């Protein structure tokens, strides 16, 4: 088994010493809802991002008993390479041969330890979180950019009432019937002067008057 990291530029990093164990963490994601009649209820969501972690070390001197290859990187340089991958905003590809692991990940945590009596060797713990592409869904609120929401809102605007003049109608009688007070005739006239003309007392059957 070999463990590789391949960065966004295609550079390959080969871990020189295999860990004793690799831990895969999986967790179901839940959303807690507060329902009045039931109290708090956990609603299951999709699976959370997986975590992959292991511990190993970068040896100063190659030893065929545990090293996967002999042309080893400098331990300090190897540690700095991991740190650079952790601070990078782009995911890297984690490959663990002889397993099904070939995924894009972020280096989410990385710690190092220097042990007395082992000069030059650098021990480390590293954690990866599998990368998931962010997808943005269009919602009804986003439709405003296309004009659909604006159209829906314009439909909500109050449409003014139109009254068709009947034989025998006067502005006073229309005002009393439609607006509740005959004194509102002047408001109707002001709104419809272009239709009625200069004589407020002369309205004709069939004329359509907009109510104020």
**Tens-digit pLDDT profile for residues 52-82:** 888 999 998 888 888 999 898 898 888 888 8
The terminus-to-terminus CA distance of the chain in angstroms comes to 84
Beta bridge partners of residue 122, listed in sequence order = 58
Average model confidence (pLDDT) across the chain:
80
Nearest CA among 77, 134, 81, 127 for reference residue 107: 127
pLDDT for position 170: 92
Beta-strand pair 162-164/122-130: unpaired
Structural domain 159-210, CATH architecture: Roll (3.10)
Residues 16/67, Cβ–Cβ less than 8 Å: yes
Structural domain 3-130, CATH architecture: Beta Barrel (2.40)
Token pair for residue 12?
């390959």
Those residues with Cβ within 8 angstroms of residue 96's Cβ, 6 or more apart along the chain or in another chain: 1, 2, 3, 4, 22, 102
Provide the whole-model pTM: 0.51
> What DSSP string describes 139-159?
-GGGGGGGTHHHHHHHHTSPP
Tens of pLDDT, residue by residue over 185-208, are 999 999 999 899 888 888 999 999
Beta-strand pair 39-47/28-35: antiparallel
Domain extents for the chain? 3-130, 159-210
Beta-strand pair 28-35/3-6: unpaired
Specify the 3-state DSSP secondary structure of 16: coil
């Amino acid at each position: 088994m070999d463990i590789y990291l391949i960065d966004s530029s295609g550079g390959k990093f080969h871990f020189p010493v295999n860990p004793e164990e690799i831990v895969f963490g999986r967790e179901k994601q839940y959303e807690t809802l507060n329902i009045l009649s039931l109290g708090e209820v956990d609603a299951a969501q999709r699976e959370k991002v997986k975590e992959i972690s292991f511990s190993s070390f970068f040896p100063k001197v190659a030893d065929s008993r545990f090293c996967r290859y002999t042309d080893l990187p400098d331990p300090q340089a190897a540690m700095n390479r991991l740190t650079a991958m952790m601070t990078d905003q782009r995911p890297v590809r984690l490959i663990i041969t002889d397993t099904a692991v070939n995924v894009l990940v972020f280096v989410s945590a990385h710690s190092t330890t220097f042990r007395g009596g082992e000069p030059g060797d650098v021990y480390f713990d590293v954690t990866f979180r599998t990368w998931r592409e962010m997808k943005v869904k269009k919602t009804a609120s986003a439709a405003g950019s296309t004009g659909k929401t604006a159209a829906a809102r314009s439909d909500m605007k109050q449409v003014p009432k139109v009254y068709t003049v009947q034989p025998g109608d006067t502005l006073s009688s229309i005002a009393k019937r439609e607006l509740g007070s005959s004194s509102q005739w002047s408001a109707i006239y002001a709104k419809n002067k272009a239709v009625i003309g200069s004589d407020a007392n002369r309205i004709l059957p069939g004329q359509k008057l907009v109510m104020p």
